[in-house]
Amino acid sequence: MSETDAPPAKATELVTDVLRSRIGPELRASGFRGSGQNWSLPSSAKDYALLSFQRWRYSDASVAGFTVNLCVARRAEWAAAFARSPWLGARPTATSQGGPAWYSRIGSLLNPAVDRWWIVRSADDVPFVVDDVLHLVRAVAVPHLTARLDGTAPPGPYSWPRLPDDE
């Protein structure tokens, strides 16, 4: 069977591949540690600066999607909260809100604010999705995570055009 005879990749498989082989290496090059859906930006104080990819619950073979969640938590504050409320977990996650942390979806930091989900239906969608995600991670997520880690004022909303799927 030649490549032209191969069946098209399932949308869910395309998203997994995008995160693993296209976005993951770029996150590492930008200083993040992690793999797959969960990443952290190292902090000299060992605080938590987390970025995670939350998959769309309705993803299937024909369409798959994901968004970016962010979280910053002070290690000492989280440890104290965990001691009082073990249900929080020993470490925060960017997808489960609760406890003493800042949480946001990347779309909430845009102007106009929108619950930003990237949708993949075929391999044709991949280049745009990769470029868009990496641009917003570098322009929005990293500045917000680092400002909150440093205790400085985070940047204001980032002007970014709405996409047809957002309307």
pLDDT tens, position by position, 28-85: 999 999 999 999 999 989 999 999 999 999 999 999 999 999 999 999 999 999 999 9
* Residue with tokens 């989280």, as numbered in its chain: 78
Look at residue 98 in the predicted model and tell me its pLDDT.
87
Q: Is the pLDDT of residue 124 over 60?
A: yes
Q: Which of the two residues, 1 and 14, has the higher pLDDT score? A: 14
Q: Is the pLDDT of residue 1 over 50?
A: no
Look at residue 149 in the predicted model and tell me its pLDDT.
95
Pick from 7-11, 57-61, 131-135 the range whose average pLDDT is largest.
131-135
Look at residue 162 in the predicted model and tell me its pLDDT.
59
The structural domains of the chain, with segments of one domain joined by +, span 3-159
Look at residue 163 in the predicted model and tell me its pLDDT.
58
Say what the pTM is.
Answer: 0.90
Q: Is the pLDDT of residue 17 over 80?
A: yes
One DSSP character per residue, 8-72 reads PPPHHHHHHHIIIIIIHHHHHHTT-EEETTEEE---TT--EEEEEEEEPTT--SS-EEEEEEEEE
Q: Which two tokens stand for residue 23?
A: 């976005």
CB atoms within 10 A of CB 144: 20
Distance in angstroms (rounded) separating the CA atoms of residues 136 and 24: 14
Look at residue 9 in the predicted model and tell me its pLDDT.
84
Q: Go through 92-125 and write b for each residue having 16 or more CB atoms within 10 A of its CB, e for each that does not.
A: bbbbeeebebbbbbbbebbeeebebbbbbeeeeb
Distance in angstroms (rounded) separating the CA atoms of residues 72 and 149: 7
pLDDT tens, position by position, 72-119: 999 999 999 999 999 999 999 999 888 999 999 999 999 999 999 999
Total count of residues recorded for the chain = 167
* Residue with tokens 């609760």, as numbered in its chain: 98
Q: Residue 139's closest CA among 155, 121, 115, 152?
A: 155
